[in-house]
Structure 1
Amino acid sequence: MLMQDFAASLSYKALPEDVLKVLRRSLLDSLGVAAIGSQTEMARIGTKTARMMFGATSASAARCLFDGNVASFAGAAMAGAMTIDSIDAHDGTSPCKGHAGSAIFPALLALADERSMTGQDFATYLALAYEISYRAGLTQHDICADYHTSGAWTAVGVAAMTARVIGCNPMQIHEAAGIGEYHGPRSQMMRCIDHPTMVRDGVGWGAPTGITAGFLALNGFTGAPALTCQGPHWQGLGETWKLVSDTHYKPYPCCRWAHPSIDAAADLMSKHKITHHQVSSVEIKTFHNATRLAGHHPKTADEFAYSIAFPVACMIVRGQIGPAELAAETLRDPEILRISNATQLIDDPHLTQISEGKRWAQVSLRLRDGRICESPPRSPRGDVDMPLTDAEISQKFHLFADPILGVKNAEILETLCTDFDQLDAPDLQSLLELVLSKPQI
């Protein structure tokens, strides 16, 4: 099936239950990340700038995520994407080496704020955007020499979704995807790995680019073909779902490449009943790109997000990596810094070879008494072979959302997300009111 035909014809009845399960989990997970992300400097700057540069018009007005102020559809999508991207804890896809929901959710929320949708509509639009984004991302990694951010390929999925939402025909959806691909941010992910800043994963431009592409196509602008919408990764479209096989969830708010090392360190501390005072040094063997993560003494939230040594040290010292570990004072914790500075990252050729579609690491802890505790090589929790439970997703959501929304509103939001696809239009609007208004605790 051609991409444009899939996007134009997909119906809620065609969505398998396993697809709906992923969408329900991703909605709850993403909104929890967005809630805590709304408190970051990156979100504040992104939302302020979006309103300044992409203000609302009579034909385009939507509220910014967890802010309540109004911008254009593109502006609200930009603000929301930067809000979610400011906390590196949202869902992802290891085969694509990136994230789709952080662009798709804020874009669809912006579009939904001014039109009536049911939960079934919302689920259908999400499903087609995720599936198109994943397949475009896989294709892009095959045909492009450089490693681009998620903003590049989510621009394609958001463009197709936007075109469907606003009533485009298949040919216009075809044009929209091409426009989104052409104007999408082909930003270099490894530059942000080597020099972490607020540019992050590029979705802050991927989301508004996709929305703009959809409206350009509706108005007659041409841009087809999207080169990432053809090739072997598009076989089985509408029959098999990359969304199901490739989506992972993060237990920790930092780069996915650090997660197998964090999990391995946590397992060693528990198995050997070690305290951080006993740890003298740490050795981490992992794949090549992961060794380029900054991280022995991060100075900013961005450097923390793109690091391994410091988050692993956080796990060793505190036994957790949650909201408290995102606080500025954590970056100055002397015991965490001691262990972080005593951590060596080793580029392991075998782990590099097998880290295609998965992420691998092996951790050794050297103790003050001379003992060495070594983990086997492992991949991270949260992948489909070691999934987080629904209870763990819920716990993570409340850890992030309760301090921002209040326990009662967080519980209401979780209930609405749990079976959001069964909501009628008024109830879906109730969900929107919770996430598009400024939190009032």
Structure 2
Amino acid sequence: MTSLSFDVKPASQLLAAARPSWLDRWGTFAAGLTVADLPAPVVERTTLVLLDCIGVIAAGMQEPECRALAARLAQTGGSGDCPAIGSGRGLAAGSAALLNGLAGTMLELDEGNQYARGHPAIHVVPALLAAGPRLKSSGADLLTALALGYEIGSRIGIAAKLLVTTHPHGTWGTAGAALAVAHLNRADAAMMIETLNIASTLGLATSRRTMLEGGTVRNAYAGVSNQLGLTAWDLAASGIIGETDGIGSVFGGVIASDFRPELMVEELGERWEIARNYFKRHAACRYTHGALDALGDIVAKAGGRIDPAEVAAIEVDTYVWAAQLDGAEPKNMLAAKFSLPFALATFLANGAATPEAFRDGARQDAATRDLARRVTVREDRGLTARLPGLRPARVRLTLTDGRRFEAEALTNKGDTEDPYSPDEVRAKFADLAGPVWGASHAAAIADCVASIDRAADLSTLTRLLSAPAAAGGSV
């Protein structure tokens, strides 16, 4: 009988051999990071991102679903000292992180990162605002953790190719929230690594169909990521362990493929993803923004307004992801924000793609719906080839009198290549937060955030964010 022998190594050696070098480097990088390591432009951009997130959360909190969920979470999870921003309610940390993340995606105005193909900040800020005050974190701690959580989430999004059926919300954002919270808790390198490995397998298996069909559960994905980010840290701090390379496993073969670990450390500490972010003014899916910008140019050429009844047809050639948003009969507000035909029609009917332009009243307007049916959307493979650096769209509009207008946008207004100024981002915050709290209270929040890097703690910001909405506040 033949004797078989095996070279069985101790588990500790197997784990050490299997852990990728990029993860070790990230553990050391995350544990040692301080605000002094962030270049001044990164601190400035992170501060703007924080302000923008607060504004979109407060505005989204006024939606009826958010108000209803706030009441239910207060019943089921109990009250707490973490503000549900714009509601006047204090909730337990996990409940606040969930609700604020959900509210921040309700209006489709949250910032994003075109290279990560997602929205990193709204997956991180609610968790930090829930954890920071309890930990007596400084404003500098908050900004550092935000930049760090944004970075790891974005890097995973860049390094991995999500399945085309997967919605990016609720996936790599969990790792971003978890690492940011670990940083606030002053985790060492080993705990940073463990937290990432745990968080990697706590993300959601999200469906891209939800956004196309108007399944508003999609708005909860970012909120769940924030909640799970808090949970991942609690698990790690309690001694729970993950697999050795959770991110490589999940994003290299479970919900994504073609994971490129070298991109996790390329120019690490030199190129900051939060400094390559984009801000949004159109309250619709970013894939519609190039066409909306081009249509805005056409309206300007035509004298400042085009009557929807005088439009015979609108033709759009754009990149693949935008071309998929070709449904002209959205069933609710979310679906309307992911309908390129409706977004263009309501832009003409209302003068801008504001939150109000996608609500039921605007969506049910007969003239707007008729115009949406006269919009044709096609993919141009040449435009698709220009992703991800550019987001091009070409729009041709024909009037009933035979006149034709054409315009092209190579990138979206607000992108790194064509950014909004800091004043424009602050104006967006005022537009969103002013109707919620009143102009003076919104200005006080903006002033507080502007100097947050010098704040010894987060008590003033938390107090301001805990204020109830003004009577009749809405966006």
TM-score of the superposition, structure 1-length normalised?
0.92
What is the letter of the counterpart of residue 21 of structure 1? E
| CA deviation after TM superposition for structure 1 residue 140, in Å | 2.6
Partner of residue 33 from structure 1, selected from 44, 51, 56 = 56
Deviations for 1:313-353, whole angstroms, at most 9, x for unmatched residues?
A: 12222221224324321112233222212111112221222
> 1:243 aligns to what?
274
Q: 1:226 aligned to 2:249?
A: no
Q: Find the aligned partners of 2:96 and 2:90 in 1 and give their Cα distance.
A: 7
- The correspondence of residues 381-392 of structure 1 with structure 2, limited to 5 A, is 381-392=413-424
| CA deviation after TM superposition for structure 1 residue 77, in Å | 0.7
> 2:66 aligns to what?
43
- The correspondence of residues 419-434 of structure 1 with structure 2, limited to 5 A, is 419-425=451-457, 428-434=458-464
- The correspondence of residues 256-271 of structure 1 with structure 2, limited to 5 A, is 256-271=286-301
Question: Does the 8 A contact of 2:135 with 2:184 survive in 1?
Answer: no
Question: Does the 8 A contact of 1:92 with 1:100 survive in 2?
Answer: yes
- The correspondence of residues 14-413 of structure 1 with structure 2, limited to 5 A, is 14-52=37-75, 54-55=77-78, 62-141=82-161, 146-188=165-207, 190-200=208-218, 202-224=221-243, 225-228=245-248, 231-235=261-265, 236-245=267-276, 247-273=277-303, 275-276=306-307, 277-293=309-325, 295-413=327-445
Question: Does the 8 A contact of 1:98 with 1:150 survive in 2?
Answer: yes
Question: Does the 8 A contact of 1:82 with 1:204 survive in 2?
Answer: yes
Question: Does the 8 A contact of 2:181 with 2:233 survive in 1?
Answer: yes
What is the letter of the counterpart of residue 191 of structure 1? R
Question: Does the 8 A contact of 1:73 with 1:110 survive in 2?
Answer: yes
> 2:18 aligns to what?
none
Q: Find the aligned partners of 1:86 and 1:340 in 2 and give their Cα distance.
A: 22
Q: Secondary structure at the residue paired with 2:268? A: coil
Q: Find the aligned partners of 1:99 and 1:369 in 2 and give their Cα distance.
A: 42
Q: Find the aligned partners of 2:246 and 2:65 in 1 and give their Cα distance.
A: 31
Partner of residue 2 from structure 1, selected from 2, 9, 25 = 25
Q: Find the aligned partners of 1:19 and 1:325 in 2 and give their Cα distance.
A: 34
Moved more, 28-37 or 233-242: 233-242
Q: Find the aligned partners of 2:86 and 2:336 in 1 and give their Cα distance.
A: 24
Deviations for 1:145-204, whole angstroms, at most 9, x for unmatched residues?
A: 65442311110011111122224322122111111110111312x212332211226212
- Cα 1:376–1:145 change in 2 (3 A) is closer
Q: Secondary structure at the residue paired with 1:285? A: strand
Question: Does the 8 A contact of 2:202 with 2:228 survive in 1?
Answer: yes
- Cα 1:333–1:176 change in 2 (3 A) is same
What is the letter of the counterpart of residue 429 of structure 1? S
| CA deviation after TM superposition for structure 1 residue 311, in Å | 1.5
| CA deviation after TM superposition for structure 1 residue 410, in Å | 0.8
| CA deviation after TM superposition for structure 1 residue 138, in Å | 1.4
| CA deviation after TM superposition for structure 1 residue 357, in Å | 4.2
Q: Find the aligned partners of 1:109 and 1:342 in 2 and give their Cα distance.
A: 45
- Cα 1:390–1:164 change in 2 (3 A) is closer
Moved more, 224-233 or 169-178: 224-233
User: What residue ranges of structure 2 are gaps of 5+ in the alignment?
Assistant: 1-23, 252-259
- Cα 1:18–1:334 change in 2 (3 A) is same
Question: Does the 8 A contact of 1:77 with 1:103 survive in 2?
Answer: no
Q: Find the aligned partners of 1:49 and 1:184 in 2 and give their Cα distance.
A: 24
Question: Does the 8 A contact of 2:101 with 2:123 survive in 1?
Answer: yes
| CA deviation after TM superposition for structure 1 residue 101, in Å | 1.3
Q: Secondary structure at the residue paired with 2:218? A: coil
Q: Find the aligned partners of 1:335 and 1:148 in 2 and give their Cα distance.
A: 32
Q: Find the aligned partners of 2:246 and 2:98 in 1 and give their Cα distance.
A: 22
User: What residue ranges of structure 1 are gaps of 5+ in the alignment?
Assistant: none
Deviations for 1:81-112, whole angstroms, at most 9, x for unmatched residues?
A: 00101110011011122101112111101112
- Cα 1:357–1:78 change in 2 (3 A) is farther
Moved more, 326-335 or 121-130: 326-335
Q: Secondary structure at the residue paired with 1:95? A: coil
- Cα 1:209–1:358 change in 2 (3 A) is farther
TM-score of the superposition, structure 2-length normalised?
0.86
Identity within the alignment, %: 26
- Cα 1:180–1:133 change in 2 (3 A) is same
